[in-house]
């Protein structure tokens, strides 16, 4: 397939190209166009012009366009899913789930409105709150979920009346570029622009005077740099960053029932999820049995090329992450006991089997840091108040979960865990109508839901005297 940038409604070549690898084979999947700084400036200029049209488009028409994009995504789901599997590595079934999930997110935002809120209507004054668009949004997308995380941003930005410049990750740009091709004619020229880079335009986007907001999903370290550079022009920012989600497994769980759910919460997308369960605290009374069950599931998991039928876990997405995860395995080997996985196979592809580590302390790197891969430490505890304190002893605060046969008991624990989202008897359940965001170094602002939509708007108060 011949990939193009989308700038000002036109599909154009980049100033250069870069190879995109298939992480399952390490072979070149495609030569991807990359934008120059001049092309970025052209995209910003086009977005500013498109914004002047789009902001005055009635919201009913904006909503209809979101539905049209959802239709296009669904009609082209097989092609998009195959591209996604080849560039990202995830199994084809999971890729299809991501594509259809993105369509669902568009349809959810299509259902929303931005009504005028009347704060007061008295004899002396009428006070209204309006929601106006911000302008041009820069959306920076990571490599773990290149399509659905785009759908966290694009429909909300469009419904709010903004124009947008989308920059996918350099290792997974193809699905975003293909989506750009598919929707190139849906909206006025310049309203949506899609550019790719070789990790050289991020700071140009975050400092650009023509961009009013940055919506970034990625690592905490990069998010801090985005925040610092965006400060030069006082941009609005939404940052969804790293996490080190704790799963607290209480003494009354049915281990055989919850073990597969915990495994999925930790190893979905090969653990390359910001809200994956990255450390498990299991009560000493069920610790050995839970470790045994998780190890069994890990040993039975089918790891392979995402295009092959039956594959449950594909490769890590890129060489840098592959090397990082191997290092975390060695930390687990040195500071704990590996009971499943741990041996990286020879040959092509960034494959690492799901790895379970037991008898490891809170102070090890594997527990304290975000491994972002298929390595799960299981830590023992004996006191609920103590485990809450240990779970909260982290710089991160994105997600977490509490597991118990007594929902009310788990709920009381969940209230004491410091995190943006806490699930009870489930994990990593994101729904389009439920607001999502982190605390501490896990982020700033909110995505999804009506609250997430509001972050793509400017509040404007109109205060009218009646006498």
- Check whether residue 408 and residue 455 sit in a common domain: no
Q: Please count the structural domains in the chain.
A: 2
CATH number for 211? 3.40.605.10
Residue 298 resides in a domain: yes
**pLDDT tens-place string over residues 136-166:** 999 999 999 999 999 999 999 999 999 999 9
Q: Is residue 301 within 8 Å of 91, Cβ to Cβ?
A: no
Domain identity same for 282 and 402: yes
Kindly state whether residues 231 and 335 are assigned to the same domain: no
Burial (CB count <10 Å: 0-12, 13-18, 19+), residue 342: buried
325 and 179, same structural domain?
no
Q: Is residue 435 part of a domain?
A: no
Residues 447 and 417 in one domain: no
Question: Is the model's pLDDT at 1 over the cut of 90?
Answer: no
CA distances from 421 to 276, 401, 413, 437 (A): 12, 8, 13, 7
Residue 434 maps to a domain = no
Q: Examine the domain organization and report whether 192 and 255 are in the same domain.
A: no
pLDDT digits (tens, 9 = 90+) for 20-72: 999 999 999 999 999 999 999 999 999 999 999 999 999 999 999 999 999 99
Does residue 5 surpass a pLDDT of 90? Answer: yes
Cα 423 to Cα 425: distance, rounded to the nearest angstrom: 6
Same domain, 207 and 77: yes
Average of per-residue pLDDT values in the chain: 98
Residues pairing with 447 in the sheet: 436
pLDDT at 285 over 90: yes
Q: What is the pLDDT of residue 104?
A: 98
Contact at 8 Å (CB) between 238 and 444? yes
Question: DSSP labels for 239-267?
Answer: EE----EEEEE-TT--HHHHHHHHHHHHH
Q: Give the pLDDT confidence of 393-410 residue by residue, as tens digits.
A: 999 999 999 999 999 999
Q: Which residues are catalytic?
A: 240, 274
Listed in sequence order, the residues at least 6 apart from 221 whose beta carbon sits closer than 8 Å to its beta carbon are: none
- Residues 236 and 445: their CA atoms lie apart, in Å, by 10
Q: Using a cut of 0.85, tell me whether the model's pTM lies above it.
A: yes
DSSP symbol at 56: T
DSSP 330-370: HHHHHHSEEEE---PPSSSS-----EEEES--TTSHHHHS-
Instruction: Report residue 184's pLDDT band, with 50, 70 and 90 as the boundaries.
Output: very high
Claim to verify: residue 228 and residue 253 sit in the same structural domain: no
Instruction: Verify that 62 and 162 share a domain, yes or no.
Output: yes
Mean pLDDT, residues 307-332: 98
Does residue 296 sit within a domain?
yes
- Give the whole-number percent of the chain exceeding pLDDT 70: 100
CB 424 within 8 A of CB 411: yes
**The dihedral sign for the CA sequence 24, 26, 31, 35:** positive
In a shared domain, residues 218 and 302: no
Q: Is 171 contained in some domain? A: yes
Contacts of 142 (CB under 8 A, 6+ apart): 149, 169, 217, 218
Tell whether 429 is covered by a domain.
Answer: no
- pLDDT by residue (tens digit) across 242-274? 999 999 999 999 999 999 999 999 999 999 999
364 lies in the same domain as 260: yes
Give me 422's structure tokens.
């806490």
Structural domain range at position 299: 245-424
Burial class (CB within 10 angstroms; exposed 0-12, middle 13-18, buried 19+) of 221: exposed
CA-nearest of 189, 179, 195, 197 to 10 is 189
Q: What's the average model confidence in pLDDT over 338-364?
A: 97
pLDDT at residue 338, as a whole number: 98
CATH number, domain with residue 333: 3.40.309.10
Strand segments, DSSP code E, in 328-466 are 337-340, 355-358, 375-381, 400-403, 423-424, 443-444, 457-465
For residue 433, tell me if it sits in a domain.
no
Measured distance CA(436)–CA(459) in Å, rounded: 20
Residue 431 lies in a domain: no
Residues 81 and 49 in one domain: yes
Asked whether the predicted pLDDT for residue 467 surpasses 90, the reply is: no
Q: Are 8 and 193 in contact (CB under 8 A)?
A: yes
**CB within 8 Å of 61: residues ≥ 6 apart:** none
For residue 283, list its beta bridge partners.
381
Closest-CA residue to 322 (of 374, 391, 383): 374
Query: Using one digit for the tens of pLDDT, what is the confidence trace for 289-317?
Result: 999 999 999 999 999 999 999 999 999 99
* Rounded percentage of the chain residues whose pLDDT exceeds 90: 100
C-alpha 79/C-alpha 90 separation (Å) is 15
């Amino acid at each position: 397939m011949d990939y193009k940038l989308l700038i000002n409604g036109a599909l154009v070549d980049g100033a250069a190209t870069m190879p995109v690898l298939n992480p399952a084979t390490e072979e070149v999947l495609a030569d991807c166009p990359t934008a120059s700084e001049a092309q970025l400036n052209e995209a910003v200029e086009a977005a500013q012009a498109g914004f002047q049209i789009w902001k005055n488009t009635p919201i009913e028409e904006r909503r209809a366009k979101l539905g049209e994009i959802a239709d296009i995504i669904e009609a082209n789901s097989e092609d998009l899913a195959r591209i996604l599997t080849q560039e990202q590595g995830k199994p084809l079934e999971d890729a299809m789930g991501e594509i259809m999930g993105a369509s669902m997110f568009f349809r959810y935002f299509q259902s929303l409105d931005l009504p005028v809120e009347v704060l007061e209507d008295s004899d002396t004054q009428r006070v209204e709150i309006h929601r106006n668009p911000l302008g041009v949004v820069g959306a920076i997308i990571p490599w773990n979920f290149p399509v659905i995380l785009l759908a966290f941003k694009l429909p909300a930005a469009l419904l709010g009346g903004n124009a947008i410049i989308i920059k996918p990750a350099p290792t997974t740009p193809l699905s975003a570029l293909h989506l750009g091709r598919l929707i190139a004619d849906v909206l006025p020229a310049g309203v949506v622009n899609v550019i790719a880079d070789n990790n050289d335009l991020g700071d140009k986007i975050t400092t650009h005077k023509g961009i009013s907001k940055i919506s970034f999903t990625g690592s905490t370290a990069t998010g801090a740099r985005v925040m610092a550079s965006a400060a030069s022009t006082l941009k609005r920012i939404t940052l969804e960053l790293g996490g080190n989600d704790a799963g607290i497994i209480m003494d009354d769980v049915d281990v055989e029932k919850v073990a597969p759910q915990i495994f999925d919460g930790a190893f979905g997308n090969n653990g390359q999820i910001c809200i994956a369960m990255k450390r498990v605290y299991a009560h000493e009374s069920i610790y050995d049995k839970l470790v045994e069950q998780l190890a069994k599931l890990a040993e039975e998991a089918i790891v392979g090329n995402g295009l092959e039928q039956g594959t449950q876990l594909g490769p890590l997405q890129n060489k840098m992450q592959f090397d990082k995860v191997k290092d975390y395995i060695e930390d687990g080997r040195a500071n704990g006991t590996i009971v499943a996985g741990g041996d990286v196979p020879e040959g092509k592809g960034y494959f690492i089997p799901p790895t379970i580590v037991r008898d490891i302390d809170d102070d090890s790197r594997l527990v304290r840091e975000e491994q972002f891969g298929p390595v799960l430490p299981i830590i023992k505890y004996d006191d609920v108040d103590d485990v809450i304190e240990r779970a909260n002893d982290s710089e991160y605060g994105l997600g977490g979960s509490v597991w118990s046969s007594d929902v009310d008991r788990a709920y009381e624990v969940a209230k004491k865990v410091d995190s943006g989202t806490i699930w009870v008897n489930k994990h990593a359940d994101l729904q389009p109508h439920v607001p999502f965001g982190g605390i501490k170094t896990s982020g700033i602002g909110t995505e999804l839901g009506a609250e997430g939509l509001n972050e793509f708007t400017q509040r404007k108060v109109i205060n009218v005297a009646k006498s």
